[in-house]
């Protein structure tokens, strides 16, 4: 059996390139309140052809939990991803997280999308809970499946 | 050593174990509740079930089956996301699936104590400590009960240690399973042991991407029984290159949504199967009845924690500090102590403080070559359980075996024990025999003290004093109970020949006196002494009176005092429980055998025989005119069937006989009663009790076996 680890090693660099023309984007997200262990969340960018462009935030490095991030994992299996460089801490129920990413101008307003998958034990999976165009407008939204209760993107 | 291995981790873990046990007990109900939602699937295929579910749930994403057979469908459509429990026969949802907040709360508490990874580590360590406690406890249990063969025999001793032992015997198997699997799961969680979850299938590359086939017609799903299903993930609807992911009890695979072929299937690894088995044992998921049993076992843990801490605490409290201990090489007397619960230490310590130039040390620290100035060496030892060495003497016999020089000092052995045990003070006997065999000289024959009797200790002290040629008053009392002033309110004197006096006495019951039962002891403290004398109670608290029967001992200290009391006088006393001297709680017959004042507890047993079980009394007195004790109540009890038969032997009449001769005459009847699991209760003087034992043994009755079963109990003085 090929393990994901192997795929990771041969990964086609899906790492945000350091380009001059980029914008610093601030993301802020909150997961729903429930009783139980913390949630795993991934934030990623998809291309106009719906393939994965890059993974910008992921809070699990444990392979066994990654399949629960169903939409992202579908891409990860097919294309390979790099997950070192992300934190391994789950996000407690009801908790928020805020982070900044430099996103190249070429991805903005050109058909790329921001997607968020989330999952937690006994709480089910919420693939593509957030699925919005990567636009230059500031966005405030909630997850369609209700796992991400608040999501904002500011440039 | 074994005890430390048991109690130190036990104490450390008690608090956490408490939490793990209670949260575990709550969660143990979950598999059974889950099972209630499992519908009969009548051996249908996954394909059939999935097709029904897909028809009734637009936007179906996932079907999963719990280990208990409950099926859950997850879907996402225009109405939003949903997660329902459904019936595979119809595909219809019948209730939404909601993660229980209560179980969620306890699960998290159970795993992490709500302190994240640190908590997980603690929980893992606690599971391992519990495993150790199970093992060490099992060995202690075997030791205490007199060997592995007796693991299920009735336990004896004081109430709290007995409770600890009895509960442990019920829950130890459950505890063992829980703690072993818990330790394993913790190691798996921290990836010290492989749980086989880490790897999963690489995505297949040869996907057609043509029009999907309805799920019910996928060939790969036709021949897999529904009961093997764990999870079926549907492909994303907008993604023709996505696949079905199938997880079964045996492995996982991908199915092409167009051709319906299994593109790849990887069977579970051994480590995966091991993990699932341990997971099932620990959680009861898939084995709901085991879950309930383990949950019930877990409920015993708080009892174990509390009684365990009490036992430890009591031992700490009774451990006395040695203040002035003369060095081993300077001491003229060396006291070597074999103690399990520290009670014996208390006695030995008391002796040491009354003697000059005395060194006191545990028997395990035995080093005869260092006792350079010793003239006498005194062994004071208890016996553990059924004849084993107590903790502080566990290595003594080995050490003695290795020392070959015959010393120039002389020895004495004092043994502490409990006649309730079949091997009364066996270890003291063993020590004495071993010393003699080594050629050591004894200066005082072996003496035994029954149940921490202060009197026996005092009497031994007098003998010792004579040999040492000094004055010695030993008055060690184990723990001073609350003393009550009792008012004498009824006397019934029996005497005929001015030679033998017996007195039945009744004291009024103080309101705050602790509860007692017939057969418990009334400890009377005669004035100008602080050593109590024990008298068997003929009544229980419910009777509202304290009844005893006292014969006057010439030259005695307490009995002449009691015989001198008048109605209205007061006496100081307390209750000494005697829990091992009670009729068992069955409906089997009881044979009571006694002589003289030994009749007293029997009167209470008979009076309380409200269920009218068969009770036969064999009693030996002197003469019908001299000691016709309790004649009237006995006649009444016979008439009311509280007492089945009354057999009296008189020794001072023409053709007089002893009670054991009565037994011999009734041998057939006694054999018949024993065949009905009768319990024998003996009360009275040592000589009588020995004769009775011999007589019964001659009938072929195995008294040692009966003792282990608590079917032969005695209170002998």
**pLDDT tens-digit series, residues A36-47:** 888 999 999 999
Q: What is the pLDDT of residue B201?
A: 73
- Say if residues B413 and B432 touch (Cβ distance below 8 Å): yes
Q: What are phi and psi of B163, to 5 degrees?
A: -60, -45
Option in B76, B99, B236 nearest A36 (CB): B99
The answer as to whether B357 is a domain residue is yes
Whether residue A146 and residue B62 make contact (CB cut-off 8 A), yes or no, is: no
Q: What are phi and psi of B554, to 5 degrees?
A: -65, 130
Give the integer Cα–Cα distance in Å for B248 and B262: 13
Instruction: Please name the residue of chain A whose CA is at the shortest distance from the CA of residue B107.
Output: A36
DSSP-derived 3-state class of residue B635:
helix
Q: What is the pLDDT of residue B12?
A: 76
Give the integer Cα–Cα distance in Å for B494 and B254: 97
- Average model confidence (pLDDT) for chain B? 88
- With a threshold of 0.85, tell me whether the complex ipTM lies above it: no
Is B96 found in the same domain as B107? no
Option in B81, B101, B104 nearest A146 (CB): B81
- Taking alpha carbons only, the member of B530, B572, B566, B535 closest to residue B551 is B535
Number of folded domains in chain B? Answer: 5
Q: What is the pLDDT of residue B157?
A: 67
Confidence of residue B488 (pLDDT cuts 50, 70, 90): very high
The answer as to whether B118 is a domain residue is yes
- Within 13 Å of residue B592, how many CA atoms lie on the same side as its CB? 32
The answer as to whether B45 is a domain residue is yes
- Is the per-residue pLDDT at B532 higher than 80? no
Q: What is the pLDDT of residue A39?
A: 93
DSSP-derived 3-state class of residue A30:
strand
Average pLDDT over residues B140-167: 80
- Is the per-residue pLDDT at B531 higher than 80? no
Is B392 found in the same domain as B427? yes
DSSP-derived 3-state class of residue B696:
helix
Give the integer Cα–Cα distance in Å for B434 and B457: 23
User: What digits encode the pLDDT tens for the residues B555-575?
Assistant: 777 888 999 999 999 999 988
Give the integer Cα–Cα distance in Å for B550 and B521: 13
Whether residue B101 and residue A35 make contact (CB cut-off 8 A), yes or no, is: yes
Number of folded domains in chain A? Answer: 1
Q: What is the pLDDT of residue A19?
A: 59
User: What digits encode the pLDDT tens for the residues A78-108?
Assistant: 777 777 677 777 788 999 999 988 899 999 9
Is B109 found in the same domain as B89? no
Whether residue B104 and residue A34 make contact (CB cut-off 8 A), yes or no, is: yes
Instruction: Please name the residue of chain A whose CA is at the shortest distance from the CA of residue B101.
Output: A35
Option in B101, B202, B242 nearest A7 (CB): B202
B672 Cβ contact partners less than 8 Å away, ≥ 6 residues apart: none
- Which residue, B83, B100, B117, sits at the end of a domain? B100
Give the integer Cα–Cα distance in Å for A145 and B313: 56
Q: What are phi and psi of B218, to 5 degrees?
A: -65, 120
Give the integer Cα–Cα distance in Å for B639 and B631: 13
Option in A71, A77, A145 nearest B203 (CB): A77
Angstrom CA distances, B229 to B60, B232, B632, stand at: 16, 8, 78
Is B527 found in the same domain as B379? no
Residues in chain B within 8 Å Cβ distance of A63: 198-200
* Sign of the torsion formed by the C-alpha atoms of B383, B389, B391 and B393: positive
Residue located via tokens 């005669």: B526
Instruction: Please name the residue of chain B whose CA is at the shortest distance from the CA of residue A8.
Output: B202
Is B636 found in the same domain as B519? no
Separation in Å, CA of A23 to nearest CA in chain B: 31
pTM across the whole model = 0.59
Whether residue A63 and residue B107 make contact (CB cut-off 8 A), yes or no, is: no
Compute chain B's Rg from CA coordinates: 36
DSSP-derived 3-state class of residue B367:
coil
Is B561 found in the same domain as B627? no
| A92 vs B: CB within 8 A | no
Residues in chain A within 8 Å Cβ distance of B83: 124
Is B570 found in the same domain as B648? no
- Within 10 angstroms of residue B583's Cβ, the number of other Cβ atoms is 23
Instruction: Please name the residue of chain B whose CA is at the shortest distance from the CA of residue A126.
Output: B81
- Say if residues B525 and B573 touch (Cβ distance below 8 Å): yes
- Within 10 angstroms of residue B451's Cβ, the number of other Cβ atoms is 17
Whether residue B101 and residue A34 make contact (CB cut-off 8 A), yes or no, is: yes
Give the structural domain span for A60: 4-154
**Which pair of tokens denotes residue B411?**
């020895």
Q: What is the pLDDT of residue B31?
A: 92
**Which pair of tokens denotes residue B269?**
């690894």
Q: Report the residue count for chain B.
A: 717
* Sign of the torsion formed by the C-alpha atoms of B291, B293, B294 and B300: positive
What number of C-beta contacts closer than 8 Å exist between A and B? 71
DSSP at B384: B
- Relative to beta strand B376-382, strand B410-417 is parallel
Largest Cα–Cα distance of chain A, in whole Å? Answer: 44
Q: What is the pLDDT of residue B413?
A: 95
Is B439 found in the same domain as B360? yes
- Taking alpha carbons only, the member of B253, B187, B194 closest to residue B224 is B253
The answer as to whether B211 is a domain residue is no
**Which pair of tokens denotes residue B559?**
């009995």
The answer as to whether B258 is a domain residue is no
Give the integer Cα–Cα distance in Å for B588 and B332: 57
Give the structural domain span for B643: 590-716
**Which pair of tokens denotes residue B28?**
């143990």
Confidence of residue B141 (pLDDT cuts 50, 70, 90): confident
- Say if residues B290 and B281 touch (Cβ distance below 8 Å): yes
B364 Cβ contact partners less than 8 Å away, ≥ 6 residues apart: B392, B393, B394, B395, B396, B399
Give the integer Cα–Cα distance in Å for B341 and B319: 8
Is B396 found in the same domain as B333? yes
Is B509 found in the same domain as B456? no
Residues in chain B within 8 Å Cβ distance of A33: none
User: What digits encode the pLDDT tens for the residues A45-80?
Assistant: 999 988 899 898 998 877 778 888 989 988 887 777
- Average model confidence (pLDDT) for chain A? 83
Give the integer Cα–Cα distance in Å for B136 and B631: 53
Average pLDDT over residues B654-677: 91
Whether residue B111 and residue A144 make contact (CB cut-off 8 A), yes or no, is: no
Output the DSSP codes for B575-598: EE--TTSS--SSSS-EEEEEEGGG
Q: What is the CATH number of the domain that holds A69?
A: 2.60.40
The answer as to whether B250 is a domain residue is no
- Is the per-residue pLDDT at B385 higher than 80? no
Best interface-test mutation with B: which of A8, A61, A74, A142 has the largest number of B CBs within 10 A? A74
Best interface-test mutation with A: which of B102, B107, B203 has the largest number of A CBs within 10 A? B203
- Say if residues A129 and A143 touch (Cβ distance below 8 Å): yes
- Is the per-residue pLDDT at B321 higher than 60? no
Instruction: Please name the residue of chain A whose CA is at the shortest distance from the CA of residue B264.
Output: A1
Give the integer Cα–Cα distance in Å for B552 and B494: 11
From chain A residues 16-75, the ones with a CB under 8 A of any chain B CB are: 34-37, 50, 63-64, 67, 70-71, 74
Give the integer Cα–Cα distance in Å for A61 and A40: 10
- Is the per-residue pLDDT at B374 higher than 70? yes
- Taking alpha carbons only, the member of B248, B251, B244, B249 closest to residue B216 is B244
- Within 10 angstroms of residue B196's Cβ, the number of other Cβ atoms is 17
- Say if residues B371 and B377 touch (Cβ distance below 8 Å): yes
- Relative to beta strand B243-248, strand B229-233 is antiparallel
- Within 10 angstroms of residue B319's Cβ, the number of other Cβ atoms is 14
- Say if residues B463 and B331 touch (Cβ distance below 8 Å): no
Is B517 found in the same domain as B542? yes
The answer as to whether B225 is a domain residue is no
Give the integer Cα–Cα distance in Å for B476 and B452: 9
Instruction: Please name the residue of chain A whose CA is at the shortest distance from the CA of residue B106.
Output: A36
- Within 10 angstroms of residue B320's Cβ, the number of other Cβ atoms is 15
- Within 10 angstroms of residue B61's Cβ, the number of other Cβ atoms is 23
Confidence of residue B491 (pLDDT cuts 50, 70, 90): very high
Give the integer Cα–Cα distance in Å for B60 and B109: 33
When mean pLDDT is compared across A129-143, B410-424, B653-667, B671-685, the lowest value belongs to: B410-424
**Which pair of tokens denotes residue B353?**
């403080």
- Taking alpha carbons only, the member of B541, B423, B543, B417 closest to residue B484 is B541
Give the integer Cα–Cα distance in Å for B701 and B706: 8
- Is the per-residue pLDDT at B205 higher than 90? no
Give the integer Cα–Cα distance in Å for B652 and B621: 8
Q: What is the pLDDT of residue B680?
A: 95
Runs of H (alpha helix) within chain A: 4-9, 70-79
Is B403 found in the same domain as B505? no
B668 Cβ contact partners less than 8 Å away, ≥ 6 residues apart: none
Q: What is the CATH number of the domain that holds B629?
A: 3.40.50.80
Whether residue B99 and residue A34 make contact (CB cut-off 8 A), yes or no, is: yes
**Which pair of tokens denotes residue B52?**
């029904």
User: What digits encode the pLDDT tens for the residues B26-50?
Assistant: 999 999 999 999 987 778 899 999 9
From chain A residues 117-146, the ones with a CB under 8 A of any chain B CB are: 122-127, 144-146
Option in A77, A78, A122 nearest B99 (CB): A122
- Say if residues B242 and B257 touch (Cβ distance below 8 Å): yes
When mean pLDDT is compared across B281-295, B339-353, B581-595, the lowest value belongs to: B339-353
Residue located via tokens 């003369």: B326
- Say if residues B185 and B230 touch (Cβ distance below 8 Å): no
Instruction: Please name the residue of chain A whose CA is at the shortest distance from the CA of residue B198.
Output: A64
Compute chain A's Rg from CA coordinates: 15
């Amino acid at each position: 059996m090929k393990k994901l680890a192997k795929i990771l090693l041969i990964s086609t660099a899906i790492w945000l390139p350091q380009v001059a023309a980029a914008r610093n984007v601030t993301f802020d997200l909150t997961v729903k309140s429930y009783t139980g262990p913390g949630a795993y969340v991934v934030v990623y960018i998809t291309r106009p052809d719906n393939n994965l462009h890059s993974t910008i935030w992921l809070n699990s490095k444990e392979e066994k939990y990654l399949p629960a991030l169903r939409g992202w994992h579908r891409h990860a299996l097919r294309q390979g991803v790099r997950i070192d460089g992300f934190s391994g801490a789950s996000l407690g129920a009801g908790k928020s997280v805020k982070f900044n990413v430099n996103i190249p101008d070429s991805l903005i307003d050109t058909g790329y999308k921001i997607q968020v998958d989330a999952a937690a034990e006994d709480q089910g999976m919420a693939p593509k809970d957030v699925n919005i165009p990567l636009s230059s407008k500031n966005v405030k939204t909630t997850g369609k499946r209700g796992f991400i209760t608040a999501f904002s993107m500011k440039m | 050593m074994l005890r430390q291995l048991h109690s130190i981790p036990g104490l450390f873990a008690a608090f956490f174990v408490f939490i793990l046990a209670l949260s575990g007990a709550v969660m143990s109900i979950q598999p059974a509740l889950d099972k209630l939602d499992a519908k009969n699937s009548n051996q249908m295929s996954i394909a059939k079930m999935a097709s029904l579910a897909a028809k009734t749930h637009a936007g179906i994403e996932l079907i999963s089956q719990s280990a208990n057979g409950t099926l859950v469908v997850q879907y996402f459509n225009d109405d939003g996301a949903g997660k329902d429990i459904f019936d595979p026969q119809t595909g219809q949802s019948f209730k939404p699936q909601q993660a229980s907040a209560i179980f969620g709360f306890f699960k998290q508490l159970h795993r992490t104590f709500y302190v994240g990874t640190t908590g997980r580590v603690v929980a893992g360590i606690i599971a391992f400590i519990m495993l150790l406690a199970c093992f060490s406890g099992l060995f202690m249990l075997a030791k205490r009960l007199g060997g592995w063969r007796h693991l299920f025999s009735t336990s004896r001793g004081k109430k709290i240690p007995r409770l600890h032992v009895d509960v442990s015997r019920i829950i130890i198997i459950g505890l063992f399973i829980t703690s072993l699997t818990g330790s394993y799961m913790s190691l798996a969680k921290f990836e010290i042991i492989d749980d086989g979850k880490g790897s999963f299938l690489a995505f297949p590359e040869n996907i057609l991407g043509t029009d999907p086939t309805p799920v019910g017609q996928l060939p790969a799903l036709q021949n897999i029984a529904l009961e093997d299903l764990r999870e079926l993930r549907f492909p994303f609807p907008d993604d023709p290159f996505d696949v079905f992911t199938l997880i079964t009890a045996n492995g996982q695979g991908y199915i092409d949504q167009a051709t319906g072929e299994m593109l790849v299937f990887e069977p579970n690894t051994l480590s995966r199967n091991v993990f699932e088995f341990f997971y099932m044992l620990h959680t009861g998921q898939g084995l709901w009845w085991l879950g309930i049993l383990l949950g019930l076992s877990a409920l015993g843990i708080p009892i174990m924690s509390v009684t365990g801490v009490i036992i430890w605490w009591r031992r700490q409290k009774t451990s006395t500090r040695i203040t002035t201990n003369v060095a081993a090489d300077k001491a003229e007397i060396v006291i070597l102590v074999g103690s399990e619960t520290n009670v014996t230490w208390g006695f030995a310590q008391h002796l040491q403080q009354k003697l000059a130039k005395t060194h006191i040390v545990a028997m395990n620290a035995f080093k005869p070559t260092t006792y350079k100035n010793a003239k006498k060496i005194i062994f004071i030892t208890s016996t553990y359980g059924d004849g084993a060495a107590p903790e502080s003497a566990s290595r003594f016999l080995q050490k003695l075996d290795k020392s070959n020089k015959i010393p120039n000092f002389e020895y004495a052995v004092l043994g502490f024990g409990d006649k309730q045990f079949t091997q009364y003070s066996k270890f003291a006997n063993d020590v004495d025999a071993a010393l003699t065999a080594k050629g050591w000289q004894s200066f005082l024959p072996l003496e035994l003290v029954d149940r921490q009797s202060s009197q026996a200790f005092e009497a031994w002290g007098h003998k010792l004093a004579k040999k040492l040629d000094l004055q010695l008053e030993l008055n060690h009392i184990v723990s001073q109970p609350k003393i009550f002033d009792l008012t004498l309110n009824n006397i019934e004197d029996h005497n005929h020949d001015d030679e033998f006096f017996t007195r039945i006495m009744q004291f009024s019951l103080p309101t705050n006196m602790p509860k007692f039962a017939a057969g418990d002891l009334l400890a009377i403290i005669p004035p100008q002494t602080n050593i109590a004398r024990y008298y068997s109670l003929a009544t229980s608290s419910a009777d509202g009176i304290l009844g005893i029967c006292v014969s006057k001992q010439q030259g005695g200290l307490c009995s002449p005092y009691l015989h001198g009391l008048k109605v209205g006088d007061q006496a100081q006393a307390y209750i000494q429980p005697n829990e091992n001297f009670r009729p068992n709680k069955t409906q089997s017959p009881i044979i009571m055998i006694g002589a003289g004042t030994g009749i007293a507890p029997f009167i209470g047993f008979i009076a309380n025989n409200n269920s009218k079980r068969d009770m036969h009394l064999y009693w030996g007195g002197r003469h019908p005119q001299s000691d016709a004790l309790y004649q009237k109540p006995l006649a009444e009890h016979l008439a009311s069937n509280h007492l089945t038969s009354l057999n009296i032997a008189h020794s001072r009449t023409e053709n007089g006989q002893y009670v054991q001769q009565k037994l011999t005459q009734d041998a057939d009847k006694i054999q018949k009663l024993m065949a009905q699991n009768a319990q024998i209760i003996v009360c009275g003087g040592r000589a009588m009790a020995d004769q009775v034992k011999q007589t019964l043994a001659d009938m072929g009755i195995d008294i040692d076996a009966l003792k282990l079963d608590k079917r032969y109990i005695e209170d002998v003085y």
